Amino acid sequence: MEREVKFSLVFRDMWQSAGKYQPRVDQLVKVAPAIIRMGCFDRVETNGGGFEQVNLLYGENPNKSVREWTKPFHEAGIQTHMLDRALNGLRMSPCPKDLRQLFYKVKKAQGTDITRIFCGLNDARNVIPSIQYAKEAGMIAQASLCITHSPIHTVEYYVDLAKQFIEAGAEEICLKDMAGIGRPVSCGKIVAGIKAIKKDIVVQYHSHAGPGFNMASILEVAEAGCDYIDCGMAPLSWGTGHADIIAVQEMLKDAGFKVKDINMEAYMEVRTQIQEMCDDFLGYYIPELNHINNSLLVKPGLPGGMMGSLMTDLEDNLKSLNKWKVKNGQPELTTDQLLVKLFDEVAYVWPKVGYPCLVTPFSQYVKNLALMNVIQMEKGKERWSMIADNIWDMILGKSGQLPGPVAQELKDMAKAEGREFETNDPQGYYPDDLEDYKKKMQEKGWELGEDLEELFEYSMHPSQYEAYKSGKAKADFEKDLAERKAKKNAPAAADMPKSIKVSVNGQTYEVNIAYGAEAPAATTAAAGAPVAAAGEGEDVLAPLEGKFFRTKDAQEQPIAVGQEVKAGDVIGYIEAMKTYNAIRADFDGILTAVLVNNGDSVEEDDPIIKIARK
């Protein structure tokens, strides 16, 4: 009898692998019936890591999105699944235990059936509690093996990890081949090893297309007994995304597997709607290079889900770096030149920091560290001269046990800075804080939400949630979108305008336009965005481009104007590439002014704070 292989549409991950944002809830609800009519999917990935943050960033309530988006699939008998980051929940940084427990109760109540739990360190101490919390909430716990290729990450390593998860109660196992660099034969051997432990355990395979291995890997894991294959579909398949459902279905059918037919009329309808979403606004955040497969990704092993945002971030970093180079009489770099330098540096850094699997948040940490090294070295500075605190936390073991040893030079740096390596269970470093957030919400007059979902959202994403509630997130997004539309639609004539006015949702923005290497003039902000007046003292300059924040979470108190600071004190943060980079005082003094608003975008070397020497 033919063995059946089933398909899952990774709709959330398709978008995250392509660009920066996810569709709006009205777009999601509109496309759901056509996805159902395709008739080939037994599962759809509806939400998870990154999904809720980007909803907040453009001013939409993600809780409403999840509830409305999962509903039609339930009614059609299609399971919904999400991606979660174990100790980190849905964010980049670790979560307290009480927030992790609430997380699964909220997602189950909102309509998510299966949670795909992963830890980028493959530290069972981070995954096993989430297996228990998910099952207690009534969800199906799917534990993930983060697949990569290194001397440490062998077939035996992964089979042993799966055994630990199965013994801890995991109902399913996922091979999360997030960079698509899992070698096909090895992936097949891992699935066979898992099935030898427990024949009826459900195994699902997730892989990205970018480096070029994944069609062979899909065939290998199917032959070894895999039950579900994650697929994408045009126009967001291949490239940094996933293999297209049509190709996968035809390949497996030819190999003798039982697979469901695809309603091609519905497929074309979904494809058309995805293109309409791109044309509406999402396409403005999808770099062209992300549509192309690239075997250069085999060496750095960067994940497809990060490549969407990476290429967008790289544009900003390249612009900032080239501005410095022009100022210092050096030749500018092209995108390709910076990309190759970055890929080479990732390959250099990765073993130095103990071979963490390059998946969120550790892919961002390693990539950010590599990019900072490249930028600093391009400016004639030393490698390792800027390491963010959360990257140190990874190196020191506060996020979990690294698979490999840390390089001696980093150990020496840690010792010189008074940092200590940790071996305890990471959860112990992050005390419960739900009651603190509940009190803050009550003081602000904010509703805790159905099934405490608003409390969950605020606790999980404090700064993004506050920006969402204040309207700042929506205003910033609409202004950025207006600038992108203006730039794309600008005329290619010698007398091109230096500024135009663009209206988005009734709000008018004046957008300044730069051409080539020209730097734009300061753009007029929307009305009602005050900036603190400058005081006496010396300027503290932004060390890199990003968003300025006084604090990195709601538990931290900002240093007030007029307050005394000591050399080395943290006086603010630049959030860049999903990492908070601390800004420290260079000398003792009095903080006399904060020159930019919380959440404002700044460029490298922009004055952001003033400190008067004592």
State the pLDDT at residue 531. 36
State the pLDDT at residue 89. 95
8 A C-beta contact, residue 587 and residue 568:
no
Asked if pLDDT for residue 526 goes beyond 50, the answer is no
Position 448 in a domain = no
Q: What is d(CA 297, CA 320) in angstroms, rounded to the nearest whole number?
A: 24
8 A C-beta contact, residue 226 and residue 30:
no
Asked if pLDDT for residue 426 goes beyond 50, the answer is yes
Give the start-end residues of each E strand in 79-152: 79-84, 114-117, 140-146
8 A C-beta contact, residue 44 and residue 7:
no
Q: What is d(CA 536, CA 595) in angstroms, rounded to the nearest whole number?
A: 12
Which of these three, 275, 291, 307, is where a domain ends? Answer: 291
Position 471 in a domain = no
Which of these three, 291, 321, 343, is where a domain ends? Answer: 291
Local confidence band at 525 (pLDDT 50, 70, 90 cut-offs): very low
49: left (phi over 0), alpha (psi -120 to 50) or beta: beta
The Cβ-side half-sphere exposure at 311, using a 13 Å CA radius, reads: 22
State the pLDDT at residue 493. 45
State the pLDDT at residue 376. 87
Per the model's pLDDT, the better-predicted residue between 491 and 486 turns out to be: 486
Distance of CA 151 to the CA centre of its chain: 26
Asked if pLDDT for residue 148 goes beyond 80, the answer is yes
Asked if pLDDT for residue 186 goes beyond 70, the answer is yes
Structure-derived torsion over alpha carbons of residues 63, 67, 73, 75, reported in degrees to the nearest 10: 170
Local confidence band at 586 (pLDDT 50, 70, 90 cut-offs): confident
Position 499 in a domain = no
Position 257 in a domain = yes
Task: Give mean pLDDT, residues 188-206.
Answer: 98
Tell me the longest C-alpha to C-alpha distance in the chain.
83
Asked if pLDDT for residue 491 goes beyond 70, the answer is no
pLDDT digits (tens, 9 = 90+) for 294-313: 887 887 887 776 666 676 67
List the domain range (segments joined by +) for residue 583. 538-613
User: Which domain CATH number covers 173?
Assistant: 3.20.20.70
pLDDT digits (tens, 9 = 90+) for 10-34: 999 999 888 889 999 999 999 999 9
State the pLDDT at residue 605. 80
Judged by average pLDDT, the poorest of 93-97, 280-284, 461-465, 544-548 is 544-548
- Measured over the CA atoms of residue 262, residue 263, residue 268 and residue 270, the dihedral's sign is negative
Asked if pLDDT for residue 55 goes beyond 90, the answer is no
Position 194 in a domain = yes
8 A C-beta contact, residue 122 and residue 145:
yes
Number of domains in the chain: 2
State the pLDDT at residue 308. 60
Local confidence band at 555 (pLDDT 50, 70, 90 cut-offs): low
CA neighbor of 379 nearest in space, from 602, 582, 600, 605 = 605
Task: Give mean pLDDT, residues 417-426.
Answer: 92
Percent of the chain scored above 90 by pLDDT? 63
Asked if pLDDT for residue 377 goes beyond 50, the answer is yes
Asked if pLDDT for residue 160 goes beyond 70, the answer is yes
Which contiguous run of DSSP H or E holds residue 507? strand 507-512
State the pLDDT at residue 508. 56
Per the model's pLDDT, the better-predicted residue between 107 and 536 turns out to be: 107
Asked if pLDDT for residue 165 goes beyond 70, the answer is yes
- Measured over the CA atoms of residue 431, residue 81, residue 174 and residue 21, the dihedral's sign is negative
pLDDT digits (tens, 9 = 90+) for 324-373: 889 889 999 998 898 889 889 999 999 999 999 988 889 889 988 998 89
Asked if pLDDT for residue 102 goes beyond 80, the answer is yes
Position 358 in a domain = no
CA distances from 445 to 387, 462, 555 (A): 38, 16, 19
CA neighbor of 90 nearest in space, from 25, 12, 161 = 12
pLDDT digits (tens, 9 = 90+) for 223-269: 999 999 999 999 999 998 999 999 999 999 999 999 999 999 999 99
pLDDT digits (tens, 9 = 90+) for 590-610: 999 999 888 888 887 889 999
Q: What is d(CA 229, CA 211) in angstroms, rounded to the nearest whole number?
A: 18
Tokens linked to 199: 């024949």
Q: What is d(CA 325, CA 374) in angstroms, rounded to the nearest whole number?
A: 13
CA neighbor of 571 nearest in space, from 538, 531, 603 = 538
Task: Give mean pLDDT, residues 484-505.
Answer: 64
Which of these three, 291, 322, 353, is where a domain ends? Answer: 291
- Burial class (CB within 10 angstroms; exposed 0-12, middle 13-18, buried 19+) of 560: exposed
Asked if pLDDT for residue 569 goes beyond 80, the answer is yes
Position 205 in a domain = yes
Position 282 in a domain = yes
Mean pLDDT of the chain: 89
Asked if pLDDT for residue 498 goes beyond 60, the answer is no
CA neighbor of 104 nearest in space, from 119, 94, 90 = 90
601 DSSP β-pair partners: 547
CA distances from 44 to 69, 81, 356 (A): 10, 6, 28
State the pLDDT at residue 518. 46
User: Which domain CATH number covers 603?
Assistant: 2.40.50.100
Which contiguous run of DSSP H or E holds residue 163? helix 155-167
State the pLDDT at residue 547. 86
Percent of the chain scored above 70 by pLDDT? 90
CA distances from 248 to 208, 219, 230, 259, 260 (A): 13, 9, 10, 10, 11
Tokens linked to 267: 């497929």
State the pLDDT at residue 359. 87
Q: What is d(CA 139, CA 172) in angstroms, rounded to the nearest whole number?
A: 12
The Cβ-side half-sphere exposure at 83, using a 13 Å CA radius, reads: 31
Which amino acid, residue 215?
M
Q: What is d(CA 215, CA 242) in angstroms, rounded to the nearest whole number?
A: 10
